[in-house]
Chain A
Amino acid sequence: MSGVPLTTFLPEFGNPNDAAQRWVAAALAHARALAAYDDRLYPRDPAQQISAQHLHDAWRGWVEDAETVLRQAEALTSTDDEMPGLEALQDEIGFRQAMLDMPPALIAHRREQVERGEVFSVEEVRRELRAGSRG
């Protein structure tokens, strides 16, 4: 990583539309590079938890940069299909934001619940939801 935010130069040079399109493509390429490690996001081996947290931290940095790129690109367009990659970037940001709401420690805790037998069937959870909506 360069330490220079991905979007530092976005508003400053050249045709803003072309520049935004290049940054959208760059953000998506960055995401693909990180996604190669998706199978390490939630390790079962406790010794791998720190590496997994570093990976989540990298995704958090990506989301911050990608949201800046997205805001710039959206400011230059009126529809999502006007710029190649824009909708894919929105999708990836939403996917990764939701993923970041599930840090490795949280999932490790829930895995321990499963190992202790704290698992509910679909029918049990649905029944619970129905009871909750009535109550």
Chain B
Amino acid sequence: MNYGLGVAGDARADVHAMAPWLQEEFWDELERLAANPSLLPSPSASGDILYKFQRISANVKHTITMTISRNDGVKKVIVLGIKYRQHRRRG
């Protein structure tokens, strides 16, 4: 079952900070998670969850980390934060 998706107000600035191609990768990943929420860690009783994914472009590895609020009651995933780092691969 598909979950609804949302982005917290200030988390929009995090998306703006990413390169356009990485934004597209982010939306694709988010839609993949909404279509299959079991890919996310189980919601914790105490807090929100971390989720990471990686993309490689021009021999540079991009690690994208999201903080996500997952609410199984209302079937919704809300992104609270998105940050990323990149690392040039050797060899």
**Contact surface of A with B, Cβ cutoff 8 Å:** 38-45, 48, 52, 74, 77-82, 90-91, 93-95, 97-99, 101-102, 106-107, 109-111, 113-114, 118-122, 125-126, 128-129, 132-133
Contact = CB atoms under 8 A, between A and B. Distances in A.
Chain B interface extent, by class: 35 or more
Interface string B52-91: 1010000001011101010000000010110111110111
Nearest to A96: B65
A49 to B, nearest CB: 10
Interface of B: 5-12, 15-16, 20, 23, 27, 30-31, 41, 44, 46-50, 52, 54, 61, 63-65, 67, 69, 78, 80-81, 83-87, 89-91
B42 to A, nearest CB: 9
Given A42-B48, A91-B63, A106-B81, A113 B54 contact: no
